[in-house]
């Protein structure tokens, strides 16, 4: 750690910058592409209620825990655990986060690449001439090199923002893009819920059917909450290490969780009513797979007035949401290489991006050339997707709350979140109680029950 004290650490420069960057990390393909998909596969309304419950009782406490670990230690995810708990094995939790960054970014950059292809298809007006959108998607996603080119381009975009640093890269970009994203999403929601037939989708989304809920459903909701909030792998520990000492961490955590959950709900309002409006009998006619957003929505855009413009907006906003998230995942690895392996930011960015892209290529090819390589019936892409949210992030979140509740302890945690006692709040006690007792037990029970009772299912 000694070397770091002499170097002035890059940091966010304003409160809005912190929110834009952290909400930028949270709001992503997880909200717009993954949430409606997972919700459709796991019972709609019941899933939504479980999801919101998890954001409140687990999400916000873990968010706050991560920010406080990072801001206290002023280091990357691995170094932060080492600094707070020296000479222990806790830094392995940081290492787990670095591994999660690889598995997440590998499959995430596949989908992020698709958004670029679809953006160009939207701009060129191609949807108007396509009669079979499912075929359009499978032809593209199984193509031997087209999706790879987009994926690599997306990794280059991500790397160039991270390369530019915290203030000049990440903060600057997210401050501009996040407000644009919100406006575009609202515009598309208004269009989607006003489509004829949309009300069935709203019914599906908001009226819970508890008979569809199993332990796996509960684990999927928890995994989705962790994935969507970017918790459990150190992205927010890393961002936390760039937050100014006078920032009110609890308020920031609540604002980020609210923004993310609000956008997850808006995204479902964008996608699910459109699915029902398009397929007359809703989901029974349409089996939701990773192409949900890329097959159903272009059809909707094609058949609605002004659809051309909305399709351009939608795929642009999807790419933007993805980019503000991929930079946070890459930053986890870059900060680690930079501080632990003493690399320059440039070298760290290049090495991390190339290594992640190598794994990412396998995820992309698992829709074509490598589609027959499976494990437990999952393709490489599906395996990385499931493993990231339901195993690595869930387990990571569990270890993080145990760390704060039992190792970092009450006094260091209070010191950090109260800015050394300058902010007083009665709620801190409740949050610490949740972190110490409730969150670990809840996460532990769900993870164990899903594994032993339901087994590994999709
Ligand atoms: N939260 C991001 C999304 O919803 C994905 C992500 C996961 C980003 C973990 C960082 C860390 O798309």
In this prediction, residue 3 carries a pLDDT of 44
Task: Verify whether ligand 1 is closer than 6 Å to residue 328 (CB atom).
Answer: yes
Q: Which residues pair with 379 in a beta bridge?
A: 374
Average pLDDT of every residue of the chain: 91
Q: 3-state DSSP: the chain helix, strand, coil percent, rounded to 5?
A: 80, 0, 20
Distance (Å, rounded) from C-alpha 236 to C-alpha 404?
Answer: 14
Expressed in angstroms and rounded, the spacing between residue 305 Cα and the centre of ligand 1 is 33
Residue 227 has pLDDT above 90, yes or no: yes
> Comparing 58-72, 264-278, 335-349, 373-387, which segment has the lowest mean pLDDT?
264-278
Nearest residue (CA) to ligand 1, atom 9: 230
Task: Verify whether ligand 1 is closer than 6 Å to residue 90 (CB atom).
Answer: no
In this prediction, residue 7 carries a pLDDT of 59
Which positions ≥6 away from 291 have C-beta within 8 Å?
Answer: 134, 137, 138, 141
How much is the pTM? 0.93
In this prediction, residue 83 carries a pLDDT of 97
Task: Verify whether ligand 1 is closer than 6 Å to residue 30 (CB atom).
Answer: yes
SS (H, E, C) 380-447: HHHHHHHHHHHHHHHHHHHHHHHHHHHHHHHHHHHHHHCCCCCCCCCHHHHHHHHHHHHHHHHHHHHH
Task: Give 15-54 pLDDT, tens digit per residue.
Answer: 999 999 999 999 999 999 999 888 888 888 899 999 999 9
CATH classification of 15-449, choosing from 3.40.47.10, 3.30.930.10, 3.90.25.10, 1.10.4160.10? 1.10.4160.10
For residue 14, give the nearest of 235, 229, 345, 246 by alpha carbon: 246
Under 8 Å between Cβ of 220 and 42: yes
Task: Verify whether ligand 1 is closer than 6 Å to residue 28 (CB atom).
Answer: yes
Task: Give 160-209 pLDDT, tens digit per residue.
Answer: 999 999 999 999 999 999 999 899 889 888 888 888 888 888 888 888 88
Task: Give 107-131 pLDDT, tens digit per residue.
Answer: 999 999 999 999 999 999 999 999 8
Expressed in angstroms and rounded, the spacing between residue 246 Cα and the centre of ligand 1 is 26
Q: Which residues pair with 378 in a beta bridge?
A: 375
Distance (Å, rounded) from C-alpha 87 to C-alpha 243?
Answer: 26
């Amino acid at each position: 750690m000694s070397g770091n004290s002499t170097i002035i650490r890059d940091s966010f420069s304003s409160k809005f910058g912190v929110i834009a960057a952290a909400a930028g990390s949270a709001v992503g393909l997880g909200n717009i592409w993954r949430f409606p998909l997972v919700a459709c596969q796991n019972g709609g309304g019941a899933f939504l209620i479980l999801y919101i419950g998890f954001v409140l009782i687990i999400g916000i406490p873990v968010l706050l825990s991560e920010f406080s670990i990072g801001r206290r230690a002023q280091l990357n995810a691995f170094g932060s655990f080492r600094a707070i708990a020296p000479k222990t094995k806790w830094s392995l939790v940081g290492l787990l986060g670095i591994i999660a960054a690889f598995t997440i970014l590998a499959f995430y950059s596949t989908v992020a690449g698709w958004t670029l292809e679809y953006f160009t298809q939207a701009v060129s007006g191609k949807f108007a001439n396509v009669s079979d959108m499912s075929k359009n998607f499978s032809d593209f996603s199984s193509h031997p090199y087209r999706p790879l080119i987009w994926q690599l381009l997306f990794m280059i975009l991500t790397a160039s923002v991270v390369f530019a640093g915290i203030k000049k890269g990440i903060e600057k970009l997210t401050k501009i893009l996040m407000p644009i994203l919100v406006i575009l999403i609202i515009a598309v929601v208004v269009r989607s819920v006003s489509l004829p037939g949309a009300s069935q989708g709203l019914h599906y989304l908001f009226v819970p059917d508890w008979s569809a809920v199993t332990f796996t459903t509960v684990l999927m909701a928890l995994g989705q909450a962790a994935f969507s909030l970017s918790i459990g792998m150190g992205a927010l520990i890393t961002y936390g290490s760039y937050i100014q000492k006078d920032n009110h961490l609890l308020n920031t955590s609540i604002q980020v969780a609210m923004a993310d959950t609000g956008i997850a709900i808006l995204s479902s309002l964008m996608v699910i009513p459109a699915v029902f409006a398009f397929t007359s009998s809703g989901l029974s006619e349409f089996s939701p797979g990773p192409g949900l957003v890329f097959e159903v929505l272009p059809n909707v855009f094609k058949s609605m007035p002004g659809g051309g413009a909305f399709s351009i907006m939608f795929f642009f906003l999807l790419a933007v949401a993805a980019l503000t998230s991929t930079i946070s995942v890459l930053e986890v690895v870059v900060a680690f290489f930079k501080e632990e392996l003493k690399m320059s930011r440039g070298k760290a960015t290049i090495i991390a991006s190339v290594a992640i892209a190598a794994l990412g290529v396998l995820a992309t090819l698992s829709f074509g050339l490598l589609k027959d390589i499976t494990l437990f019936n999952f393709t490489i892409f599906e395996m990385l997707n499931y493993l990231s949210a339901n195993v690595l992030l869930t387990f990571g979140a569990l270890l993080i709350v145990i760390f704060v509740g039992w190792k970092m302890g009450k006094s260091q945690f209070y010191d950090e979140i109260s800015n050394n006692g300058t902010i007083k709040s009665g709620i801190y006690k409740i949050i610490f109680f949740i972190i110490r007792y409730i969150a670990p037990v809840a996460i532990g029970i769900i993870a164990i029950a899903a594994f032993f009772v339901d087994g590994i299912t999709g």
